[in-house]
């Protein structure tokens, strides 16, 4: 017999977020081989700055050859067993890079860092460390669809949504936090913490200082944890600037308190450096018990020594990292504007954003009905007719139908331009059909009114026409 984990459907793969990927994989767009295929706009991947990384590798061939600066091979050293804690050189380079992203406003202790095989592993590891099966974490909506899998599937954790509204740009409020906590209590769930993504996936907005203060005060009053997933921290391309939860703790003089021990950061190089295939993730915690437990658990998902060595060489080159962060942000801003302006030409508005690899797009006016059934109907038309894979808001647990996450950094300018052309044609055709439908309804209404008029009205009308004709 197989384990229940193998046979159950709780992994979340039946979400429209993953179903869209499946449809894309059946018919992927290729400029030459399949120009009518589905364009992948559901993948939050940063492909805009590979040339910068490749240029660095060409200038520093010894890093890829696993040689030191004396041209001596270090392959054997890297190939043999390494401590679960990770290479000191890499951990030192990574915490300096994290500090650089935050403008040097805070520093990080490498001894508080636990390496994991990507942010997915980091988030799950934290759930194992902080939760007992059946305990809950509060998450503001909309949130990354993969959390239903990452946080819950193996850990037995529960998610209770913090319902955020478009009325204030989906910002976290005190009342929403309190309502979510009460909702968990009604479900007899023990709340162990709050998890936020900052900047937000899927909103593309960074948390305000007010929101961060709310969160710190909330976890302090409830004696619970706060996990801040900051994997998009280096993608903030316009104001307001990024504020890390560590900056808030520092400014409140809370760094050496029990509150700070209940705040944990998740980081990764998947988004900022565009290296999801390298599987580099990390947990940063001020609680030595969490660090110790997470380090033991990391033995089930270690990062290869070769990968750590290569990235330590890249991140230690501070001239390169400074140039990379600046140029990558510029390119993200440029591509973001291209998507926003392209959608605007079709009469589609985006939530104002300052970060991330996507936009939160408002298509409520295109719904046939203001329901999640109407949202799914529109989503299927976009996937199968427009041939774009985007993520419906319902897959992100948005409480309002008609919002979609649309990614812009995983394709060329030409492909994005084609996607915008497809959207324009689709919206224009919908408008034409709508006008025709309205015209037909008007004609039918007039026809019904005409048929209901008495016979003498037609005779009078005909008589008046004769009079007018004779007068002429």
Average pLDDT over residues 429-434: 84
Percentage of residues in the chain with pLDDT exceeding 70? 89
Q: In b/e form, how buried is each residue of 31-69, taking b as 16+ CB within 10 angstroms?
A: eeeeeeebbbbbbbbbebbeebeeebeeebeebeebeee
Question: What are the Cα distances from residue 12, in Å, to 153, 196, 397?
Answer: 8, 20, 13
Question: What are the Cα distances from residue 84, in Å, to 236, 277, 302, 377?
Answer: 32, 20, 7, 48
Q: Which residue is it, tokens 């204030």?
A: 168
pLDDT band for position 453 (cuts 50, 70, 90): very low
- 10 or 198, which is more confident? 198
Q: What pTM was estimated for this model as a whole?
A: 0.90
Q: In b/e form, how buried is each residue of 156-183, taking b as 16+ CB within 10 angstroms?
A: ebbbbbbbbebeeebbbbeebbebbbeb
Q: How high is the pLDDT of residue 436?
A: 65
Given a cut of 90, whether residue 445 has pLDDT beyond it is no
Domains, the chain, in order of start with CATH, read 4-50+328-428 (3.90.1150.10), 61-316 (3.40.640.10)
Active site residues: 144, 229, 231, 271
| Region label for 178, one of left (φ > 0), alpha (ψ between -120 and 50) or beta (otherwise) | alpha
Average pLDDT over residues 25-29: 95
Q: Helix and strand tally (H, E) in the chain?
A: 18, 13
CA distance 28 to 16: 17
- Could you tell me how far CA 429 lies from the centroid of its own chain? 30
Per the prediction, the chain carries an average pLDDT of 90
**Long-range own/partner contacts, residues 218-221 (CB < 8 A, 24 or more apart):** 218/174, 218/177, 218/194, 219/193, 219/194, 219/259, 219/262, 219/263, 220/259
Q: How high is the pLDDT of residue 64?
A: 85
Three-state SS for 99? helix
| Bridge partners, 361 (sequence order) | 350, 404
DSSP H or E stretch at residue 161: strand 158-162
- 226 or 451, which is more confident? 226
Q: How high is the pLDDT of residue 432?
A: 86
Q: Which of 346, 363, 423 is nearest to 41 (CA)?
A: 423
DSSP H or E stretch at residue 139: strand 136-140
pLDDT band for position 467 (cuts 50, 70, 90): very low
């Amino acid at each position: 017999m197989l384990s229940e984990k193998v046979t159950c459907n709780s992994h979340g793969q039946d979400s429209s977020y993953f179903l869209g990927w499946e449809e894309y994989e059946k018919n992927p767009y290729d400029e030459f081989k399949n120009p009518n295929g589905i364009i992948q706009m559901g993948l939050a991947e940063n492909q805009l700055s590979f040339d910068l990384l490749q240029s660095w590798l060409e200038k520093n061939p010894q890093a890829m050859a696993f040689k030191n600066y004396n041209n001596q091979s270090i392959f054997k050293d890297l190939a043999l067993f390494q401590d679960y804690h990770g290479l000191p050189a890499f951990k030192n380079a990574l915490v300096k890079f994290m500090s650089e992203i935050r403008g040097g406003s805070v520093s990080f202790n490498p001894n508080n860092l636990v390496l994991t095989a990507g942010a997915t592993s980091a988030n799950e590891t934290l759930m194992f460390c902080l939760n007992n099966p059946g305990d809950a974490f509060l998450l503001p909506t909309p949130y990354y669809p993969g959390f239903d899998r990452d946080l819950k599937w193996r850990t037995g954790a529960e998610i209770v949504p913090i319902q955020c509204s478009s009325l204030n740009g989906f910002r976290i409020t005190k009342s929403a936090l309190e309502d979510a906590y009460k909702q968990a209590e009604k479900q007899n769930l023990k709340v162990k913490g709050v998890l936020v993504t900052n900047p937000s996936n899927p909103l593309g907005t960074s948390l305000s200082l007010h929101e961060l203060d709310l969160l710190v005060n909330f976890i302090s009053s409830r004696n619970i944890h706060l996990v801040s997933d900051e994997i998009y921290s280096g993608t903030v391309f316009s104001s307001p600037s990024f504020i890390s939860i560590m900056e808030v703790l520092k400014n409140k003089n809370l760094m050496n308190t029990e509150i700070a021990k209940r705040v944990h950061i998740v980081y990764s190089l998947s988004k900022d450096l565009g290296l999801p295939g390298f599987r580099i993730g990390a947990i940063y915690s001020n609680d030595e018990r969490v660090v110790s437990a997470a380090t033991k658990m990391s033995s089930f998902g270690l990062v290869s020594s070769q990968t750590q060595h290569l990235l330590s060489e890249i991140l230690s080159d501070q001239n390169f990292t400074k140039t990379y962060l600046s140029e990558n942000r510029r390119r993200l801003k440029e591509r973001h504007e291209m998507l926003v302006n392209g959608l605007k030409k079709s009469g589609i508005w985006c939530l104002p954003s300052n970060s991330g690899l996507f936009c939160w797009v408002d298509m409520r006016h295109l719904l046939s009905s203001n329901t999640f059934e109407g949202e799914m109907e529109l989503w299927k038309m976009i996937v199968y007719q427009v041939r774009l894979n985007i993520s419906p808001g319902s897959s992100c647990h948005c409480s309002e139908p008609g919002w979609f996450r649309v990614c812009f950094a995983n394709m060329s300018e030409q492909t994005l331009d084609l996607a915008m052309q497809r959207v324009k044609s689709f919206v224009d055709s919908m408008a034409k059909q709508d006008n025709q439908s309205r015209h037909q309804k008007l004609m039918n209404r007039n026809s019904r009114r005409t048929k209901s008029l008495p016979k003498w009205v037609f005779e009078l009308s005909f008589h008046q026409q004769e009079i007018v004709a004779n007068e002429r």
